[in-house]
Structure 1
């Protein structure tokens, strides 16, 4: 990966509509004594921030709260190794290292949902765009009256005591740059601004806040307010969906709740309430 600081003004930054992030300003705003964020590293280009940070975390090279941001990812990954690509400087592509030692490992499955709440909250405040959550790891915006995916979250274990959480958000993508017609961006959703510096600051401050609440509650999603807030922002709830599972099995039902383990609860036509875990699901589609 190639490190990139604000002082670099070569031809890679010729697109004035997509200026580079300011690494020094981000550090000044986010890294503080007693805070979660210990370092903000900005690189011009890499394959995957999640892969890079997870490899370094496994070696013990980086502390909790390390943030790795890329201007461009060439091999970004979503859940189940689905590819995520976007033009350079068109979005937020970053990963953070968390070590929630106070929280039982059984509750770590809430981290991608917590991150979704934090990102949606931060983007709503900073961009003025309503952002909804599609269980388990997608961020949705409304473009021309249609819900579209504008971002995704991927959480992966890093060693015995860490989790790397990666976030990708389309910020300034134009219609002709979308990877698929169902994709969206903050710009296409009518964002008040697409300056990525304040967007990233808002998202990371929101993540620090929610992670602190959850950790202080010992990872309890109810007492931390996380479970209720996630449900309030989850566009999946109240809809009839089909969960496609491994082994060509599927479950169809109304999504009625997210339970204490972060699983989506489906009420089937047979009157059964069946919880589905994020680690088990291959696709979640409208029925």
Structure 2
């Protein structure tokens, strides 16, 4: 029998996520984020969540919605980004933030999904990332309540490298351009950023797909993520699939000599 992992709705897909769960979330800023799974989780009510994602969305969108409702207790991310509320909560001591170099975060997620417990990397050697003392949580008066611990550093091939632990989460929420009913996924352009490693790290991974096809319709070389990493699929409507906001739009005044489009 052919596998069919499609569930009825985003609400059904996230219904069993409990308070206190750890969740890897795909996307970069607003590119490739699982818009509807995040909003379904917001409606579902789980709180005290630990999020592993490149950043935490923006004010009023994406993971920023969960932040605004005080539903997140800890974030493992690469940067604060465009989210002013994220920065405010971090500096006010309202959320714990484990800042991690971007490539290291991607590899921590990928390695977790590959069954690798930890790995050595040169990234961060000679900095607070390796030496410890990076603020993870502040007190309300601005003093450091919790700082990162020092990490093991060893020499390989004459180069110092720091030990980084892999990340395995309870759940993962991602977005794909196309998925077949067995969960094999293809991502489009910039959406193929943190979605594959985030999907790999989750024990239970849910994908919202812009289009769902039958098994066999995706050519093997077109599959960016095998279905073994996916447990649930939410098929978006054509209208939902067009939702692709951006963080900033920068334009310039067209000069008279510019070519007309």
Give the TM-score normalised by structure 2. Answer: 0.22
Radius of gyration: which is bigger?
2
Q: TM-score, normalised by structure 1?
A: 0.21
Higher normalized contact order (CA 8 Å, seq sep 6+, divided by chain length)? 2
